[in-house]
């Protein structure tokens, strides 16, 4: 049976509802090592480690999507090969997923964003663990996957310092408009205009794409000449702090 057919069968069998009690087997157990993946085009492949921290075996399915979480994975045609796409992971064991770029054309002047998905299906619980009724759930985890072409100007660590900021009104409320002139995606954790705990801030998290703009709603009305303090995530998911001036 093909991987895609297995996936369809897996989804159809994932949720078995026989009552209203939630079994202990419905807790997510498989952990992805990292919060993001960066695929440098010069590399032949990247690897991602999945670890089963639970007490029971788990079945995992992995795939990439273009950003629409609801899109049918069996209909996606992306230039990457994930191996193994379907795997059983025993308790306290790990599985390494290999991701290889197959060479189809992607933009070469900027990063392209995809999403790595992992579907975890726990085993059917034993009768002694659940009684007559249980709800069995599958868990889906999703992290960002960046394809980074070779030869991009600058580097990703310098991209936050090149962002430009200005005050705007968005839906009648004050906001920071951030513009990204670089070829790299920049994930913003938070931003604050001015000093002190009561300074207008944005803390909902967001990402500005290469060459794009993003409006960040503020908690209050800031001073037009305030200094911006903001934090971003680097390639390893670590928080980095920065300062900038309003334009």
Under the banding of pLDDT at 50, 70 and 90, the label for residue 17 is very low
- Do 177 and 67 share a structural domain? no
Which among 98, 126, 148 is the end of a domain?
A: 148
- Do 142 and 80 share a structural domain? yes
- Do 183 and 66 share a structural domain? no
Q: Which range marks the domain in which residue 69 is found?
A: 3-148
Average confidence (pLDDT) over 43-68: 96
- Do 33 and 131 share a structural domain? yes
Phi-psi region of 92 (alpha: psi -120 to 50; beta: other; left: phi over 0): left
- Do 178 and 135 share a structural domain? no
pLDDT at 127 > cutoff 80: no
Could you tell me what percent of the chain has a pLDDT over 70?
A: 84
Residues in contact with 147: Cβ distance below 8 Å, sequence separation at least 6, in sequence order: 39, 41, 101, 106, 111, 112, 113, 114
How far is it, in rounded angstroms, from Cα 164 to Cα 247? 7
- Do 187 and 104 share a structural domain? no
- Do 138 and 163 share a structural domain? no
- Do 17 and 112 share a structural domain? yes
Average confidence (pLDDT) over 193-219: 95
pLDDT at 129 > cutoff 60: no
DSSP per-residue string spanning 190-234: EEEESSSTTS-EE-S-EEE-TT-EEEEE-SSPPPTTPEEEEEEE-
Q: How many domains does the chain have?
A: 2
pLDDT at 225 > cutoff 90: no
Q: What pTM, to 2 d.p., does this model score?
A: 0.85
Sign of torsion over alpha carbons 30, 156, 147, 185 = positive
pLDDT at 7 > cutoff 60: no
- Do 131 and 106 share a structural domain? yes
pLDDT at 13 > cutoff 70: no
Average pLDDT, the chain: 88
CATH number at residue 194: 2.60.40.10
Which among 95, 119, 148 is the end of a domain?
A: 148
Between 195 and 212, where is the model more confident? 212
Which among 148, 172, 200 is the end of a domain?
A: 148
pLDDT for res 15: 35
- Do 180 and 76 share a structural domain? no
- Do 191 and 75 share a structural domain? no
- Do 163 and 127 share a structural domain? no
Between 77 and 126, where is the model more confident? 77
């Amino acid at each position: 049976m093909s991987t895609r057919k297995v996936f369809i069968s897996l989804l159809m069998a994932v949720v078995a509802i026989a009552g209203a009690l939630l079994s202990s087997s419905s807790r997510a157990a498989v952990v992805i090592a990292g919060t993001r993946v960066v695929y440098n085009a010069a590399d032949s492949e990247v690897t991602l480690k999945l670890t089963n921290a639970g007490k029971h075996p788990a079945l995992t399915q992995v795939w990439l999507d273009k950003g629409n979480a609801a899109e049918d994975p069996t209909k996606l045609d992306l230039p990457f090969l994930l191996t193994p796409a379907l795997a059983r992971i025993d308790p306290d064991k790990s599985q390494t997923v290999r991701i290889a770029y197959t060479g189809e054309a992607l933009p070469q002047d900027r990063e392209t964003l995809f999403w790595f998905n992992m579907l975890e299906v726990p085993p059917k619980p034993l009768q002694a663990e659940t009684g007559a009724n249980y709800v069995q759930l599958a868990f889906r985890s999703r992290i960002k996957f960046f394809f980074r072409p070779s030869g991009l100007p600058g580097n990703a660590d310098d991209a936050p310092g090149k962002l430009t900021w200005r005050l705007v009104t968005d839906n009648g409320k004050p906001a920071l408009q951030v513009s990204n002139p670089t070829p790299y995606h920049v994930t913003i954790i938070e931003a604050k205009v001015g000093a002190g705990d009561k300074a207008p801030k944005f803390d909902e998290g967001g990402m500005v794409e290469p060459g794009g703009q993003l409006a960040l709603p503020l908690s209050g009305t800031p001073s037009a000449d305030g200094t911006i303090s903001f934090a971003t995530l680097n390639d390893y998911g670590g928080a980095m702090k920065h300062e900038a001036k309003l334009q």
